[in-house]
Structure 1
Amino acid sequence: MAILVFFVAHYYLSLFTQTFYLHRYAAHKMFTMNKFWEKFFFLFTYICQGSSFLSPRAYALLHRMHHAYSDTELDPHSPHFSSNAFSMMWKTKVIYGEVVENRYEEAKRFEGDTPEWKTLEAFGGTAYSRIGWGALYVLFYVQFATAWWQFLLLPIHFLMGPIHGAIVNWGGHKYGYQNFDNHDKSKNTLPFDFLAFGELFQNNHHKLPMRVNFGVKKWELDPTYAFIWMLDKVGVVKVKRKWQESVPMAA
């Protein structure tokens, strides 16, 4: 039972920080927050992602490239230029590494307005941090696992962030339905996105990249939007474009 709770908690906390902080805040700045909360959620993202921590700056630049070049050869993670999800993940890893080291020229035009905590960002990408978090996961399993097969979940813990990215970018650009003709291959994969907390409404998001609610139809439910709505109500964040904004007629 402890292993199941730990796995589900790690999966969804890591997923939440990726969509809330890295995607909607760092990449798009759909809402604002003061410096205290920016640092709080930066640290929270580091803790929740652990061994697979992703630099908010590098994530933002890759994601901005993804929107600018969606499903073309310049898209850093389009599934339509990779033979399988693993090769797409590896391609993204290579580009991500070059962006972190400021060696990827195409990304430089997308610089600016990303959260900064250079010390934590640099440490989070070191082998010391990644191996340290991985060791903690292993120790937890040694203490609480009740069957040998449970240890097979450990690689998912180690690569949680990239796995979430692969689910969204592979599934969200190959499988599902389209509300809008965006001149790319973006899809809405699930009507209630319990698997990626709203990230699988890719077609809606590519049409309305600054809309905080990724769902457009009444039956398209975006769980992360509900949390952002609550944080806006209590003053932790301030949404730039309120959820009542008009939506273009879907196809």
Structure 2
Amino acid sequence: MLTEVAATRYVTPLREGGSLPGIVEADDLGTYVMKFTGAGQGRKSLVAEVVCGGLARRLGLRVPDLVRIWLDPVIGLAEPDQEVQALLKSSGGLNLGMDYLPGSLGFDPLAYEVGPAEAGRVLWFDALTANVDRSWRNPNLLVWHGDLWLIDHGAALIWHHNWPSADASAARPYDASDHVLAPFRPDLAGAVADLAPRVTPDLVADALADVPDAWLADEPGFDAPDDVRAAYVRVLTARAAGIHERITIGPPTPDRPSRAPGWLTGRLDPTRGGTK
């Protein structure tokens, strides 16, 4: 179960994200990037964060620690920004926090080398979770103490916005042509061998147990939060079994360098018109 803390001070908004997350301090003396239930994306973006963060951690990928943050809307009364004040007022109760990584830098593929093994693991994980938000335009990766950290999974699990078609989504392909790590020759075969057998119903259910019932309640087509959890387990385990066969990375093109494995690091195969 995720640790629960209470927000004591709203520090500043992070305007890079569409959901307007903010940095807050909490009663455990920690500092967190907080994502709000009152944001436009709604509670499902928080569910995706918890599920993906929990799965990533259980599979050995680096993600900031997550906590449940209790927010008293009164904190918003002193906020001069009307947009932020409205967000705080509409997000009373449980919200989600990610450990703030001080001194971390946004991932730059021109400045940071990623090995094929790690690139393959991250890309396979994003295919599993149908994450459309790890592109070269918006990497959602941080470098902290020399290591790669995964953040911002609110746009993943896109099929949970339409449950009647969710089971069919397990077989949908994943186009990784724009994936920020595509240029690093990701070792997908190694990732599949290591990670796929570990995505068992028990492991996924363990990650789902961290999602508060309130964020799963009243889901159309389900009688109870545990029924929704079971649906996530079913889709994710089915997807893990065969998604590696449906991952594609397009060929290099003049206007889409992200499609070219090795483009950013000068390791293109000369038979494909690049350098080696």
Higher helix share: 1
* TM norm structure 2: 0.26
Larger radius of gyration: 2
* TM norm structure 1: 0.28
